[in-house]
Amino acid sequence: MKLHLKSDSITIHVAENSSHYLHVSHILTHILGRSFWVNETLINFVTPQNSEKRQAFLTSLYYACALSSQTHNPSFLEKLLHASQKPIRLVKKRLIRPCMEVQSDPYGLLNAKKTESLASIRKKYLTLAKMFHPDTITHEDATTVKASTTKFQQIHEAYESIKAEKTKKIAA
């Protein structure tokens, strides 16, 4: 989960299968006033009666982010609370697997079995590569592009690793 303070809004980026996502979206839609969805983004506007609840929510959200990233910036918290009247945008993100998975299990990354043929694995690779290729990303924010580029590189490295392994067995 990431928290960004922009000139026109407060933006929260959360993976949609995260427990944080369910909690934050519930609070924004049911407790903190008026909210509506635009594509994959929930936008919440402040109402006069929920100003204090909103500040308490942003404070707890800040501490959750600070705990997970192991950083603490009191000046950011102060700026966040001063901006509490701005709209809050909740942006859903696809889950991106960590980089370590490529090194440990390239077959798992491509959703393939070790017994599958190289042609079958190549089809799975091409499907995933099209899905995560940086040129096919619809969102233009830097975080999504970076995450997709990383995922694309992991998929490519996994396929190259499997391909080298399979061709080595054929040559031997």
For the segment 93-99, the average pLDDT, to the nearest whole number, is 56
Neighbours of 66 (CB within 10 A): 16
Neighbours of 126 (CB within 10 A): 12
Whether the per-residue pLDDT at 16 is higher than 90: the answer is: no
Record the pTM. 0.51
Pairing status of strand 88-93 against strand 10-15: parallel
Whether the per-residue pLDDT at 71 is higher than 90: the answer is: no
Q: Kindly write down the DSSP assignment for every residue of 7-43, as one continuous string.
A: SS-EEEEEETTSHHHHHHHHIIIIISSEEEEETTEEE
pLDDT digits over 34-55, tens only? Answer: 787 777 787 888 777 778 888 8
For the segment 113-120, the average pLDDT, to the nearest whole number, is 91
Percent of the chain whose pLDDT exceeds 90: 10
CA dist 126 and 130 (Å) reads: 6
Q: What is the pLDDT of residue 100?
A: 43
Sign of CA dihedral 89, 13, 5, 77: positive
For the segment 60-80, the average pLDDT, to the nearest whole number, is 84
CA dist 85 and 45 (Å) reads: 8
For the segment 104-125, the average pLDDT, to the nearest whole number, is 89
Name the CATH superfamily for 100-171: DnaJ domain (1.10.287.110)
Percent of the chain whose pLDDT exceeds 70: 89
> pLDDT band at residue 99, thresholds of 50, 70 and 90?
very low
Instruction: Let me know: does 130 contact 136? Beta carbons within 8 Å.
Output: yes
Sequence ranges of the chain with CATH classification 1.10.287.110: 100-171
Whether the per-residue pLDDT at 70 is higher than 80: the answer is: no
Residue 11 has φ and ψ, to the nearest 5°, of -115, 135
Whether the per-residue pLDDT at 24 is higher than 90: the answer is: no
